[in-house]
Each structure stands twice: as C-alpha cells, then as structure tokens.
Amino acid sequence: VAVDDYRNVSPLSEVVDATPVPTTDFAEHYRDNGGVANGDYCFIATSVYGDRDHPFVRILRSFRDVALMSHAPGRRFVRWYYRNGPTWAGWIDDSPMAAVTLQILMLPLVLGAAMLLTFPLWIMLAWWLVRRRRAQRPEVAHA
C-alpha cells in the first residue's frame, strides 16, 4: 500500500520505463513545410474581412479550434485548408469584388459557426422561455 503526501491510499503500482518520442505540433509542421504565415492562419477570412481581428474572423477561428480540431475529419479539413487557403487568400487580396462577394456568401457560415459555438446558451434560453410561458399560462380547471 502506498500513501501520498495528501494521505491518499492506493495499491503499489508497477514501475514502467518509457522512452520519450519527439512530436511536432501543427504550427511546427506548417513552418517546416514552407508555411510563412504568422499567427492563427485564417487566410481566407482575413483576406475577406481585411483584418485578422475582425469579429467574424475570430468566430471562425474559434469554430476551427473548438469544433473542427476536436475530431479527425475536422483536422483533415483544416490541413487541406492550410494547404490551399493561402493561394485563395492571395486571389482575394487582388480582387476587391471577390472580397465583397465572399463577405455576403460567408455570412451564413459565420452565423452558423457562432450559433454552434453558443448552442448551450440557445438551449438554456429556450428552456427559460418555455418555463416562463408555462408560468404565465392560466390554469384550466378540469371537471
């Protein structure tokens, strides 16, 4: 039996030896393979909205980090986007009409991402509205 400094008791465990394995995070991999962008890599959205700190770019960046990076298909999409996004962003930078068109076309995407990021808040709001409506409804006497 083993007892730690906080007096937690547990059975003795086996000693295991392990060798650390070098790993590379996505940013390192991106730079090592010729990527030159610095920061959060929202190439297209930054070109479309003209500022990496535009509120819509921040929403899309959060959606990438929270929703897409949490599962394998999302990570594959992000890798594909990082390979292709800079080329498209360069085209958008050279075409103000493309930027305006994409601002309009991306609005549903941004709103959808924002709603998915705040989904628990929508559920709580709906629950509160239902409860409030039930509380305001007059009781009907049953004979």
As given in the structure block, the two tokens for residue 83 are: 């390979």
- Which pLDDT score, from 0 to 100, does residue 38 have? 54
Scored b (16 or more CB within 10 A) or e, 8-35 reads eeeeeeeeeeeeeeeeeeeeeebeeeeb
The DSSP code for 5 is T
Query: Which residue is listed with tokens 């992000």?
Result: 78
Query: Between residues 70 and 59, which one has the greater pLDDT?
Result: 59
- Determine if residue 103 is left, alpha or beta; phi over 0 gives left, psi from -120 to 50 gives alpha, anything else beta: alpha
pLDDT at 80: 92
Domain ranges of the chain: 25-133
Q: What is the pTM of this model?
A: 0.59
